Amino acid sequence: MTKVHVFDHPLIQHKLTYIRDINTGTKEFRELVDEVATLMAYEITRDLPLKEVEVETPVCKATSKILAGKKLGIVPILRAGIGMVDGILNLIPAAKVGHIGLYRDPETLLPIEYYVKLPSDVSERDFILVDPMLATGGSAIEAVNSLKKRGAKNIKFMCLIAAPEGVKALTEAHPDVDVYIAALDEKLDEKGYIVPGLGDAGDRLFGTK
Ligand code: PRP
Ligand code: URA
């Protein structure tokens, strides 16, 4: 059964407001997405396993904890997911990064896959699949299909803004994938854009509009 987590941390909500703002330019938009990705990564890594080690402090020997070394993979859905990768790597720099290229056909809104490159040991890694937007859910569902087809067993999906339609579709298609979002918006418009949303995430990140 899927869990849907909405990160309502004040810093995330504050930054998200400026991300939404039409007056926020490309440079600031990119920086804010990066910062929110780091804050979300802090929350999403809460359950990482630890192991005990001996450490010698200036005072005495002690037993303390470090990460147990679980293999992690970050997979952005191209293009817009790229904007969240560095922010996550700030906290988990040893994670490997795969890429899944998908775009939505503007007429049908169905995802078209054009690129997949993943770490070779897919079945041994836990994956965080990232994309700023979960709209109809088609892209996220297809990206999870793609990861699972190649052997991934443990996948979390992280996005900035989700529409209820996308959350429903993704959780029905992949009940084993937990979903982490910064905001759950109202609905989709007739063109499949999230309302109120932030517009086209890829265009705003890369200045292509
Ligand atoms: C956007 C966004 C998601 C997708 C979400 O990408 O980054 O990948 O739309 O929509 P969905 O939930 O309805 O599938 P887009 O297809 O615009 O491609 P881009 O990132 O290359 O701009
Ligand atoms: N993709 C985007 O970039 N924005 C939306 O609102 C929906 C899909």
Confidence of residue 176 (pLDDT cuts 50, 70, 90): very high
d(CA 55, CA 70): 21
Name the DSSP letter for residue 123: G
Confidence of residue 2 (pLDDT cuts 50, 70, 90): confident
pLDDT at 107 exceeding the cut of 90: no
Helix/strand number for the chain, H first, E second: 6, 13
Tell me, yes or no, if 200 is annotated catalytic: yes
| Residue 136 annotated as part of some ligand binding site | yes
Residue 159 phi/psi, 5-degree rounding, is: -145, 165
Q: Note the ligand closest to the C-alpha atom of 201.
A: 2
Q: Is the peptide bond before 79 cis (omega within 30 degrees of 0)?
A: yes
- Alpha helices (H) along the chain: 10-20, 26-44, 82-89, 138-149, 164-173, 201-206
**Whole-model pTM?**
0.96
Q: Which residue has the higher pLDDT, 7 or 106?
A: 7
**Ligand 2 neighbour 103 (Cβ under 6 A):** no
d(CA 31, CA 84): 10
Model ipTM? 0.97
**Ligand 1 neighbour 197 (Cβ under 6 A):** no
133, 144, 206: residue to mutate for ligand 1 pocket, most atoms within 8 A of CB: 133
Contact at 8 Å (CB) between 176 and 2? yes
Average pLDDT of the segment spanning 70-95: 97
d(CA 168, CA 21): 26
For helices 26-44 and 10-20, the axis angle rounded to 10 degrees is 150
CA 104 vs CA 45, 77, 148: distances in Å: 30, 11, 20
d(CA 15, CA 31): 10
d(CA 153, CA 144): 10
- pLDDT tens, 28-45? 999 999 999 999 999 999
102, 134, 167: residue to mutate for ligand 1 pocket, most atoms within 8 A of CB: 102
Contact at 8 Å (CB) between 44 and 158? yes
Q: Which residue carries 């959350």 as its tokens?
A: 167
